[in-house]
Amino acid sequence: MQTIVLGSSSITRAELLTKFGVPFIQRDAGFDEESLRIADPAHFVYHATKGKMQSYLEQYDLEMPVLCADTVVTANGQILRKAKDKTDAKRILEAQSGNTVSILSCMIYKSKTIELIDLSTTDYLFLPFEPKALQDYLESDEWKGKAGACMVEGFCKSYIKEVVGLESTAMGLSVEKLLPFLPQ
């Protein structure tokens, strides 16, 4: 399979590509999502991904195909981004405890011949987070750099009562949907 560029600084996205056997190099696309003033989660995650791709293409050519992505978590109609600090992480996680949470991931894959845009959602119904476990998670700092301070494969896993959608989407990259389009 041809090597692609992961235009993202995300460790989790790198781990997902590795898990699915996709050869890649990693470059930060260098786009500041904080510049976006968009309230709708789907619009936000699409324009953030588009911004990352545009920023990448201002710096690099398409000799190698490139993949950019963005992820947001929503609960009660609010966008829950990355937590600024532990207090913010507590607020964001408490908004998800015992609640229905949607995690939206958009990805744009671009080569010389094709462009794929995918926006997928994974919906969770979480049981209430146990207060001591939540406090331990907050102390762990594992929530840092994660949309919604959420780790569906980690802290949140034991609280999943119902799920509809891919785990990879919830972790930041719907790899299964990309695989059929990757050059062999």
**Minimum CB–partner distance for residue 40 and ligand GTP (Å):** 16
Residue 153 lies near ligand GTP (rule: CB under 6 A)? yes
Radius of gyration of the chain (CA): 16
**Minimum CB–partner distance for residue 1 and ligand GTP (Å):** 21
Nearest Cα to Cα of residue 115 among 165, 167, 50, 20: 50
Residue with tokens 């609280």: 159
Asked if 31 and 54 touch (Cβ cutoff 8 Å), the reply is yes
Binding mask 82-111 for ligand GTP (x = CB under 6 A): x-----------------------------
Phi first, then psi: give them for residue 51, nearest 5 degrees.
Answer: -65, -40
With CB atoms as reference, the residue minimizing the distance to ligand GTP is 172
Nearest Cα to Cα of residue 11 among 177, 174, 172: 172
Nearest Cα to Cα of residue 144 among 12, 27, 21, 3: 12
Catalytic member of 28, 70, 88, 118: 70
**Minimum CB–partner distance for residue 180 and ligand GTP (Å):** 22
Q: Given the complex with ligand GTP, which of 91 and 167 has the nearer CB atom?
A: 167
Residue 146 lies near ligand GTP (rule: CB under 6 A)? yes
Asked if 162 and 126 touch (Cβ cutoff 8 Å), the reply is no
Residue ranges in contact with ligand GTP by CB under 6 A: 8-10, 12-13, 28-29, 33, 69-71, 82, 145-147, 150-153, 170-172
